[in-house]
Structure 1
């Protein structure tokens, strides 16, 4: 079998993704109990979102396992884009959950009913929200550090869940204190609308990743500066292109050298630039096409 260049993902990411499934189930259990003891549609909306969390945690774990596989003959650039598919699935499931919540909120608005044991439900929901908050912070920080879109997407969604849960808790408390029963389904509707927006953000980011969007302008400038600082012996570079796929970064460009330069010298310049770029992006695939001076470009190029 042909060997392909690929960087390994930190095994810690896979372990966290697996633990995320268990944590999602625990939080779902607490939120369901809060709904069960109160009959609150707002707590129901919170529990429905946690069902989505469990499903997407499983999807993220599978995607990360696939993404961490090394490149092979059928996937020469690796499997890292599998994570974007998981994040896209999460966004779609969030939309489905939001419409389910809206339906139940509509029914409850037409037929309001008093809440049972609201203070007990609030206490249980606070515990679930605290767990979600701590866990979302861990997922986001580890996801960013290890360039894992699936892990970071899960963390962002859980963080959104923390904010909405806080609003739901305050709202249910107001229902208990004021007796305004229609406030409960109104809160559930607001939660659903917020979930729709967070789902859109996940879908948008996933599509950008699947469409091979370039690196952000600030990061692109750092790459150009790094190349320019290590361009000694060469003339210029042009046709610089970048893209990222989960934890992998892809960089390619044309390196112009003097026509009579030896292959060894051109290779040494190329190696020096690659090593410097690896300092910026350890998990990167860098392709450099060496060209003679006659291929210099007047536009879209830069020198040291």
Structure 2
């Protein structure tokens, strides 16, 4: 017994529609920040600020990829995709991770060249102030993305939010480093800091790709979420004998849950169906947007493990 995907489609499409609007605003914010950071670089000539600006190019590309992915994810289930298109969001996150890695390699090349041939820095404070404004905008929008991504269970928005959060920390480090280079006259600090930024960005990109590939590979929900599911099964499984073989997987903002439910051999189909409905409603209350499949079995199929109701 299962809840058809169509019963969830309307709610999920509304969530995806809101996520798409947030992603569109992310493109606007990314373009503004990109403009400010390149102005700061042109005003200062700092390699570190150049690396910070180059990462913003990645932000724009990633935001555009998220818009496309979310529009695909919003498509309703069809004959060829009966479980919907929500996994499209993971492709956006993977693409963002790859772009981050490419940006890190480009920054690293520029930084190594500047380390070999250091140049005199004449950094006006106005340029640093422009970069600081860009960082504040990024910090504000990163918080909005993380909040919306968690609320809408959107891998694409969460990936964007985490990347922007890393970008903010990078910008703070860059500003402090460039300021130190200006005050001390140690010009090698500028490219050295850019190299540190490249390594940090590379690690961030690796984390995004790893997490997104995990989603594409149908990874199970986290242990805490599985524990909550088992607790709900235990609390609302009155009438059943046991529930075993619990399996879960993610598909974008959806979670798919399936398990076997053992009932007394003389229980009617209607009685078993009532228990299934109660369990599905309780699990969906705990995990909105879940798609649940329950396989009902007679008493002789009991395995005496899993969630024991009686």
Alpha-carbon offset, residue 261 of structure 1: 1.4
State which of 176, 182, 185 in structure 1 corresponds to 2:182: 176
One of 197, 211, 234 as aligned partner of 2:217: 211
- From 102, 107, 114, the counterpart of 2:113: 107
Contact 2:242 2:302 in 1 (8 A): yes
Return the TM-score normalized by structure 2: 0.94
Question: Aligned to 1:6, what secondary structure does the other structure show?
Answer: helix
Q: In structure 1, what is the equivalent of residue 200 of structure 2? A: 194
Match of 1:143 in 2: 149
Match of 1:249 in 2: 255
Q: 1:77 aligns to what?
A: 83
After superposition, the CA RMSD in angstroms is 1.4
Which residue is equivalent to 1:236?
242
Within 5 Å, give how 1:1-304 maps onto structure 2: 4-7=6-9, 8-9=12-13, 10=15, 11-303=17-309
Could you list the runs of 4 or more consecutive aligned residues of structure 1 that deviate by over 3 angstroms after TM superposition?
Answer: 2-7
Rounded Cα–Cα distance in structure 2 between residues aligned with 1:57 and 1:171: 28
Cα displacement string for residues 148-189 of structure 1 (whole angstroms, at most 9, x for unaligned residues): 011011001000000010010011111111121111100100
Which has the larger displacement, 125-134 or 11-20?
A: 11-20
Instruction: Indicate conservation of the 8 Å contact 2:5/2:83, yes or no.
Output: no
| Residue range with higher mean Cα deviation, 234-243 or 157-166 | 234-243
Structure 2: give runs of 5+ residues left out of the alignment.
Answer: none
Q: Which blocks of at least 5 consecutive residues in structure 1 are unaligned?
A: none
Matched residue count = 303
Could you state the TM-score of these two structures normalised by the residue count of structure 1?
Answer: 0.96
Q: 1:259: how far off?
A: 1.7
The CA deviation at 1:118 is 2.9
- 2-side partners of 1:284 and 1:69: how far apart? 18
Deviation at 1:301, TM superposition (A): 4.7
Q: CA deviation at 1:299?
A: 3.4
Equivalent residue of 2:262, what SS?
Answer: strand
